Amino acid sequence: MKDVEDFFAQLTPKIQADLSGWYGSNVKLVGEPTFQPRDWSYFFRYVVQVSGMENQAILVKVRHSEKMNLSQAAVSEKMGQEAREEYETLQRLQSLFGKEENSSLFMAIRPLALYEDLNAVVMEEADLRTLRSFFRAPKMLIEGQARQTFESYLELAGRWLRIFHDGRAGEGFVFEKAVYDNARQNLDRIKPHLSKKDQIRLDELLDKLYEMNSGKVVPYRILHDDFNSANIFVSRDGRICSFDPHNRPGPVSIDLAKIITDVETDRIQLITNGLWIPYARLQRFHASLLRGYFGSEFGSEAVNQPSLSLFRFLSLLEKWKDAEVRFESSTRKRKFVYSLAMPRIRRYFLQLIHSLIS
């Protein structure tokens, strides 16, 4: 593709000029750089020989919106702003998690440069595995080391999130009207698949929760808002990291609820109707996350259970709605498979909601 070749022609000289500043003298690029387009970003990968026996890969990321080609992304004002925000976030994460007291438990991607004329963020590549891949590993089906390891990683993820949340970001309402309206839309999408009794019960519950919480004001923190098992990573030596936070203010329970809901509604949980990890074991996973987050305060009033339950309920509605949308928009062959699984998936979501509110 000509736009990729043109981009490499601008990018490679910049990389070569900056290598010595990043890694010292006597470093060089080896092999041919590669290009990989992804859903919302274009990636360019270079391999650097930093010593006679050691190579280090670096990634160059250019964000793009849907149907935006590389040439457009490289000059887009909006993508430029997102690149600046991402680079600043990488610097902040490195500052937080690169400290000596944190570096043995957590890792941070090293940001190398921001090429504003190309809307490109340059960073080191890391050898990482998603937390989700651990959850879906076959050994998780039985009680044993795999589940214990996953539980320990969740506890570390909770500690990571607590550090990320450090510092107040003002105050605000627990349950904003816009959040209620979105939850109402999600519930309306789900209601045709509920019994009349459950329709009434969930309608009344949502309205009651809004009435109870809409006027409450709580301290806000800067939220990750994308803290899920596909965006939490484990390094080869067992350290935790996460990327691409959305950096918006809100109650901390939102981030905690989203990762809890993400684990209990993972695809493999849905298609097995919760048999992959029994509900009692899921509860232990949840507790390990909260124990990591709250530390010695776990089990005290520091854990705002009503707020956490509220946002878990809202997250379940969101996830259920997403499942219905995927089913409705699926192609013919996939729709047939979905049609066999959806009754089981709906029962599982309803079980989770009943367990939460009972």
pLDDT higher than threshold 80 for residue 302? no
Average confidence score pLDDT of the chain = 94
What pLDDT is recorded for position 300?
Answer: 63
- Mean of the pLDDT values across residues 175-197? 96
All structural domains of the chain with their residue ranges? 2-126, 129-357
Q: What is the DSSP letter of 191?
A: G
Contact 319, 326 (CB under 8 A): no
pLDDT tens for residues 315-350? 999 999 999 999 988 887 888 888 888 999 999 999
| pTM score | 0.92
Burial class for 223, CB neighbours closer than 10 Å (0-12, 13-18, 19+): buried
Q: Is 39 helix (H, G, I), strand (E, B) or coil?
A: coil
Cβ contact 245:231 at 8 Å? no
70 pLDDT tier (thresholds 50, 70, 90): very high
Q: Which pLDDT score, from 0 to 100, does residue 336 have?
A: 83
DSSP at 77: H
Average pLDDT over residues 207-236: 95
SS3 of 233, please? strand
Question: How many Å separate Cα 15 from the centre of its chain?
Answer: 29
Contact 89, 53 (CB under 8 A): no
Among the listed residues 45, 14, 10, the one whose alpha carbon sits nearest the alpha carbon of residue 30: 45
Q: Tell me the pLDDT band of 231, cut-offs 50, 70 and 90.
A: very high
pLDDT of 166 higher than 70: yes
Q: CA-CA distance, 241 to 254, in Å (whole number)?
A: 19
Query: What residues have CB less than 8 Å from 282, skipping those under 6 apart?
Result: 263, 264
Q: Which residues of 137-171 are buried (b: 16+ CB within 10 A; e: fewer)?
A: eeebeeeeebbebbbebbbbbbbbbbebbeeeeee
Strand bridging mode 232-235 / 128-130: antiparallel
pLDDT digits (tens, 9 = 90+) for 141-156: 999 999 999 999 999 9
**Residue 339, pLDDT score:** 85
* Number of residues in the chain: 358
Q: Report whether pLDDT(2) > 80.
A: no
Distance between the two ends of the chain, CA-based, in angstroms?
Answer: 57
The average pLDDT across 79-99 equals 94
What pLDDT, in 10s, does the model give residues 93-136? 999 998 888 889 999 999 999 999 999 999 999 999 999 999 99
pLDDT score for 340: 87
Q: What is the pLDDT of residue 160?
A: 97
253 with 307: CB under 8 angstroms? yes
Helix intervals (H) in the chain: 2-23, 70-73, 77-97, 131-135, 145-164, 177-190, 196-213, 252-264, 267-271, 279-294, 305-329, 332-357
The pLDDT of residue 301 is 63
Angle CA 120–121–123, to nearest 5? 145
Please compute Rg for the chain using Cα positions: 23
pLDDT level of residue 64 (50, 70, 90 thresholds): very high
Predicted local confidence at residue 42, as pLDDT: 97
Position 168 scores a pLDDT of 81
Fold for the domain defined by 129-357: Aminoglycoside 3'-phosphotransferase; Chain: A, domain 2 (3.90.1200)
Report the percentage of the chain scoring pLDDT > 90. 84
